[in-house]
Amino acid sequence: MIKKIILLWLLCVGTMQAQESFKLAYDKPAMLWTEALPIGNGSLGAMIFGGVAQEHIQFNEETLWAGAPHDYSHKGASKYLPQIRALLTAGKQLEAQTLAQKEFMSDPIKQVSYQPFGDIYLDFKGHENFTDYSRTLDLGNAIHTVSYKVKGITFKREVLSSFPDKAIAVHLTASKSKALNFNLWVDAVHDDKRVTTSGNTQTLEVKVKDGVLKGIATLKITTNGKLKVVNGKLHITKASTATIYLSAATNFINYKDVSGTPEKITKTVLENIGNATYADVKKKHITDYQSLYKRFTLDLGDNGKSANTTEKRIYDFWKNPNDPQLVALYVQYARYLTISSSRPGSKPATLQGIWNDKLTPPWFSSYTTNINLEMNYWPVEVYNLSECNEPLFDFIKEVSQTGKIVAKEHYDADGWVVHHNVDIWRGAAPVNASHHGIWLGGAGWLSSHIWEHYLFTQDKKFLENHYHLMKEAALFYSEFLYKDPNTGYLISSPSNSPEIGGLVAGPTMDHQIIRALFKDIIHASKILNTDELFAEKLRGMIPQIAPNKIGKHGQLQEWLEDVDDPTSHHRHVSHLWAVYPGYEINYEETPELMKAAKQSLEYRGDNGTGWSLAWKINFWSRFRDGDRAYKLLNALLSPAEHEERKGAGGSYPNLFDAHPPFQIDGNFGGASGILEMFIQSQLNKIELLPALPTALPKGSVSGIVARGGFELAFKWENGKLIEVEVLSKKGMPCILQYEDSSITFNTQAGKTYKFDALLNKK
């Protein structure tokens, strides 16, 4: 009996440790931004370097962008549409591109960048020589901690970004009374900036160079030491503790309105915190964060490597990927990044989430809709953070408004359309260059997120409220599709298979996206008992749309013509959209197309940028080849900066995904690909362990979500399922499948159903 109790206790402690040990850990400060660690509350983010003699906390607020409210549509562009189409039909691609470049592109042709906001610096004189340094980001409570010793005194710093208090908090302590002495100030990389200090607060005002947005950040410190202002810096002496709060805001209200009052906002935030102690703020932050974080657990085992620094773990994983805890950490880190960059009321995660230190960030750090923005949201339902999708739905609402103008001006069509890039002003017209900017899939792909959210949550009210967005996207495509004089099919023209092959008539990806959207509308209109006629029209159109085709190399054709180059290793694999995230192509209904899709992926090869590797992990999971998926995961979790790998993608020391440079989509896409190894539910049933890699023979997961309103917990050992529990949230019928076993059962909302390894009811 006693033995049993001890064993149980050990087991509990074991699991607790597995849960608690999801940390990023380092034994030295960050020198580079990609070594610094991110915190965020959806809107207000920071990168913490963890320096000793000088700490640097670079912060962002998500609404500080260049530019101004603007309608990017090209007036009268639609006049040229028939001519561009005719040139493409006649095989005159270059002429079509030239005409489109002149008459069909966004006005102006470039969008604008997300901006850095400011920097907090803390100088600690005399701390140059230190010992016992540690720097961690604890995913269990979203707190960044630095600690070290100088002359026997322990100095500790915690930093967090609180969602409930809308502020960044920095809390400093010294183990000896009066030993904490430092200078503190704020600054920014903007030319147009002003810092004012008054009492215990410092205010930073910045104005972006090319645009109308200005930002105000206010920092306030409380301490048990002495405080005075020296050369414009806050000078703290003889303290043992100090707490700093930082609030930041801009005059951005929405994409049409910049009449906000940031000084008022930051003032209110700090007043609301008032005299709350750091302990209070921290407690509120942890409660809020854990209400999301704790819903999902993943334990893949821990072979002791979790004690190493994160940097060493990434290096070791590259050489020998036998650190299953790092794989689980990668998933939990993605969840952490979702919670930190996309909360209800915030903007969606950009190419860099909310973290950016450059005035001219790569690809503007904006929203690229031909893969990147959607990839940011791939795992969100499955890893149980459903409400973190809200910013994406708000984004779709806004872009449907600007996209309606673009649909009219460029295509003389109803409904809405969005091309491959969007900025904060919700530009929806084709940007950059006609050979890749004119891509039509954005409205359809984004709409699929609305439908998938419904499938996962079975939330009919949500569907009712968002159906019109899907419908208007479908309306656009139903008018835009064009009967190809060469083949007789309805095709998407002009468009592009991202970002390969130039401007074309009829790229496969568009047709897959449009078909999926039309089918979703047919389904949704039935559920909502509406639009029967429109659904009927779409039903009639589906068989006329150019179908998926198998080409002469056994590949799935990327274009209408059989012109794929089997030696191309291009990072985009767009024509496999229907394998993932779509599922029109699958083993059950279209095995031949599945084979061809796999052949296409073989040709593209296993190399790629961060997000491309991540996409391929999802493909291989859908192809049910867990080992191949794991091979690509190995590459994604390899050191991006290592000289032998430079330019090859992978992960930075802070586990940020490297395109390179940093792009956050790979973090989310990678996590999604890992989850696809454990669960898939796209074919009206829940498949367990459909692509389990040999390298992950043992594990357990809980709080993982499947379509139909189901939340599951299951365990496996020696590569085999041991048991599974299904919580039905909406009382939908359920089909579970594991290898050759399958069970169909009715459920009641709120009830949990338990099964053994052969799916017999327990």
Closer to ligand FUC by CB, 653 or 666: give it.
Answer: 666
Of the candidates 719, 730, 726, 732, the one whose C-alpha atom is nearest the C-alpha of residue 756 is 726
Classify the phi-psi angles of 304: left when phi > 0, otherwise alpha if psi is within -120 to 50, otherwise beta: left
Helix (H) / strand (E) containing 290:
helix 278-293
CB atoms inside a 10 Å sphere around CB 733: 11
Angle CA 112–436–602, to nearest 5? 120
Q: Which residues bind ligand FUC (CB under 6 A)?
A: 351, 363, 368, 372, 499, 571-572, 609, 611, 659, 663
Minimum CB–partner distance for residue 376 and ligand FUC (Å):
11
Q: Distances in Å between the alpha carbon of 737 and those of 391, 568, 680, 683, 709?
A: 33, 37, 10, 11, 16
Please say which residue, 572 or 604, places its beta carbon nearer to ligand FUC.
Answer: 572
The two structure tokens encoding residue 385: 């953070």
Q: Is the Cβ of residue 329 or residue 417 nearer to ligand FUC in the bound state?
A: 417
> Closest residue (Cβ) to ligand FUC?
363
Identity of the residue, 362 or 731, whose beta carbon is nearer to ligand FUC in the bound complex: 362
- Identify which of residues 363 and 603 has a Cβ nearer to ligand FUC in the complex: 363
Beta strands in 139-262 (DSSP E): 143-150, 153-162, 167-174, 180-187, 192-198, 201-207, 214-223, 226-230, 233-239, 241-250
What distance in Å separates the CA atoms of residue 509 and residue 556, rounded to the nearest whole number?
Answer: 11
The distance from CA 305 to its chain's CA centroid, rounded to whole angstroms, is 27
What minimum distance in Å lies between the beta carbon of 362 and ligand FUC? 7
- Euclidean distance between CA atoms 588 and 386, whole angstroms: 28
β-pair partners for 350 = 353
Minimal distance in Å, beta carbon 546 to ligand FUC? 24
Rounded-to-integer distance, Cα 114 and Cα 639, Å: 27
Q: How far is the CB of 197 from ligand FUC (least distance, A)?
A: 40
Considering the complex, state which of residue 374 and residue 499 has its C-beta at the smaller distance from ligand FUC: 499
Output the smallest distance, CB 697 to ligand FUC, in A.
34
Nearer to ligand FUC (CB atom), residue 499 or residue 531? 499
Give all strands (DSSP E) within 552-683, no chain letters: 650-651, 657-658, 679-680
Exposed, middle or buried by CB within 10 Å (0-12, 13-18, 19+), for 149?
middle
Q: Which residues contact 287 (CB under 8 A, 6 or more apart)?
A: none
**556 contacts 550 by C-beta, under 8 angstroms:** yes
**Bridging pattern class, strands 686-688 and 734-738:** parallel
Strands 495-497 and 500-504: antiparallel
Q: Is 629 helix (H, G, I), strand (E, B) or coil?
A: helix
Q: How far is the CB of 498 from ligand FUC (least distance, A)?
A: 7
- Least distance (Å) from ligand FUC to the CB of residue 619? 17
Residue 243 or 369: the one with the smaller Cβ distance to ligand FUC is 369
Please, what is the minimum distance in Å from the beta carbon of residue 437 to ligand FUC? 10
Q: Which is nearer to ligand FUC, 311 or 499 (CB)?
A: 499
Nearest residue (CB) to ligand FUC, 372 versus 458: 372
CB 289 within 8 A of CB 339: yes
Choice between 427 and 708, CB closer to ligand FUC: 427
Strand 734-738 with 741-745, pairing = antiparallel
Q: Give least dist CB 160 to ligand FUC, A.
A: 30
User: How far apart are CB 432 and ligand FUC at their closest, in Å?
Assistant: 9
d(CA 717, CA 724): 12
Give the nearest distance from C-beta 351 to ligand FUC in angstroms: 5
* Of 340 and 496, CB closest to ligand FUC: 496
Cα dist from 462 to 389, 397, 452, 459, 577, whole Å: 12, 13, 11, 5, 25
Cβ closer to ligand FUC: 352 or 508? 352
- Which amino acid, residue 134? S
Smallest distance, ligand FUC to C-beta of residue 431, A: 11
- Of 64, 181, 186, 182, give the one whose Cα is nearest residue 121: 186
Closest CA to 215 of 270, 260, 166: 260
